Amino acid sequence: MPSISKKGFSMPESPIRKLVPYAEKAKKEGVKVIHLNIGQPDIKTPKIALDAVKNNTISVLSYSRTEGSEAYREKLARYYANHDIAVTAQDILVTTGGSEALSFTMGSIADSDDEIIIPEPFYANYNGFATAMGVTVVPVVSQIDNNFALPPIEEFEKLITPKTKAILICNPGNPTGYLYTREEIKKLAVIAKKHDLFLISDEVYREFTYDNKEHYSILQEPGMDEHAIIVDSVSKRYSMCGARIGCMVSKNKDVMKTALKFAQARLSPPTYAQIASEAALETPLSYFEDVKKEYVSRRNLLIGELEKIEGIKIGHPQGAFYCIAELPIKDTDVFAQWLLEEFRVDGETVMVAPAAGFYASEGLGKNQIRIAYVLDKERLKRAVFILKEALKSYKDQ
Ligand SMILES: Cc1ncc(COP(=O)(O)O)c(C=O)c1O
């Protein structure tokens, strides 16, 4: 039989999706599965975005420009200006989700076996994009005991080799919910400049910051024009995950010229979705105020309920809509599968994301799970209750 590529073999499974067959089986048997595993918000997409698609008068659904429609990129530049990020339409490449922006970024800056340093735990698909692009992820461990704050800068410096091309952060973080401070961003900027590295910041959760804390972008930091690359997306901002629109933003002309070649190979980002994304930029600020209020009250409820469970440790999120919980068990992969296959409370169970897949270091995160608080408070409370009962019944295998 013709054989599969080595790269294909080494592609990691998504820890968020790999348990789906067990969940589907449970659902077929009539079990209600509460999903704490996936960051698909239940928040309504702004009507203005949906209406823009419904009411448009396109007669030929054509390709758009490779870099995204001019009108959308102009409006995006204004959006960034409102966030104190000074860029022009030429500094923006519209992509098919933040996912494609991550692939294009890695492809544009790193050759096979080049290294990118990433604080772990990190968004699990960074492993997938890096494997597909032949890039080596070099993890630097952040700790649950200080909410996954930036590891000491000396830890980054120890890992820098001639193959290091970039440091990649997610701010605010998935899966940690950690929001980097201005001082932490400044420290990263200093080492990026000192060692001539790119600093990539995945800012897809920019708006979701809590407790009166403000987001500080790497492109707000002076002197970073040649080093900074932002990865962005409409998926979570406007609850438009299915639109598949994101972008890459950088003032570095060589980076953008190179990324454009990757983009030309896939022709263009989706046309209807750009129309929706452009309209979404008109979403009133009150939308975000309401959404933030909702996430804060969900977070408070979730953390409050989890803290009542004996033996559990939680990283307190200040942004995004995830948290990492450390459980008093050995292997959350086994536990998560057991929840779906065997454990029920009145016909219901929960699905969680085992956290080992959010680490690159072998053996780390095995006793942790990631929880996404994208459900209403009643469902969240019920989910934590089921988790608590499950921990009482579960015996490590
Ligand atoms: C941190 C982070 N970056 C990027 C993405 C990719 O998002 P999309 O491709 O939907 O824009 C996600 C999706 O969950 C994410 O959490």
pLDDT values of the chain reduced to their tens digit, one per residue, 397 residues: 999 999 999 998 877 778 999 999 999 999 999 999 988 888 999 999 999 999 999 999 999 999 999 999 999 999 999 999 999 999 999 999 999 999 999 999 999 989 999 999 999 999 999 999 999 999 999 999 999 999 999 999 999 999 999 999 999 999 999 999 999 999 999 999 999 999 999 999 999 999 999 999 999 999 999 999 999 999 999 999 999 999 999 999 999 999 999 999 999 999 999 999 999 999 998 999 999 999 999 999 999 999 999 999 999 999 999 999 999 999 999 999 999 999 999 999 999 999 999 999 999 999 999 999 999 999 999 999 999 999 999 987 7
Please tell me the distance between residue 214's alpha carbon and the centre of ligand 1 in angstroms.
21
Q: What is the pLDDT of residue 173?
A: 97
Query: Which residue has the least CA distance to atom 14 on ligand 1?
Result: 39
Query: Which residue has the least CA distance to atom 7 on ligand 1?
Result: 98
**What is the three-class DSSP state of 245?**
coil
Kindly report each contact of residues 354-358 with a partner whose C-beta sits within 8 Å and lies 24 or more positions away, as own/partner.
Answer: 354/15, 354/19, 355/15, 355/121, 355/175, 355/324, 356/15, 356/332, 357/12, 357/13, 357/14, 357/15, 357/16, 357/18, 357/124, 357/127, 358/15, 358/120, 358/121, 358/122, 358/123, 358/124, 358/175, 358/324
The radius of gyration computed from the CA coordinates of the chain, to the nearest angstrom, equals 21
Ligand 1 binding pocket mutation candidate from 95, 99, 244, 324 (most atoms within 8 A of CB) = 99
Q: What is the pLDDT of residue 15?
A: 73
Q: What is the pLDDT of residue 266?
A: 97
Tokens, residue 154: 């000396």
Is there an atom of ligand 1 within 6 Å of 349 CB?
A: no
Tokens, residue 231: 């990865």
Q: What is the pLDDT of residue 80?
A: 98
Q: pTM of the predicted model, to two decimals?
A: 0.95
Is there an atom of ligand 1 within 6 Å of 246 CB?
A: yes
Q: What is the pLDDT of residue 243?
A: 97
Is there an atom of ligand 1 within 6 Å of 233 CB?
A: yes
Q: What is the pLDDT of residue 179?
A: 97
Q: Which residue, 249, 253, 259, is CA-closest to 66?
A: 259
Query: Which residue has the least CA distance to atom 16 on ligand 1?
Result: 174
Please tell me the distance between residue 103's alpha carbon and the centre of ligand 1 in angstroms.
12
**Given the CA of residue 173, which atom of ligand 1 is nearest to it?**
1
Q: What is the pLDDT of residue 28?
A: 96
Please tell me the distance between residue 281's alpha carbon and the centre of ligand 1 in angstroms.
18
Torsion (CA) 376, 353, 126, 73 in degrees, nearest 10: -10
Tell me the HSE value of 26 on the side-chain side, using a 13 A CA sphere. 25
Please tell me the distance between residue 102's alpha carbon and the centre of ligand 1 in angstroms.
9
Q: What is the pLDDT of residue 395?
A: 86
- Cβ(55)–Cβ(276) below 8 Å: no
Ligand 1 binding pocket mutation candidate from 174, 178, 230 (most atoms within 8 A of CB) = 174
Please tell me the distance between residue 99's alpha carbon and the centre of ligand 1 in angstroms.
6
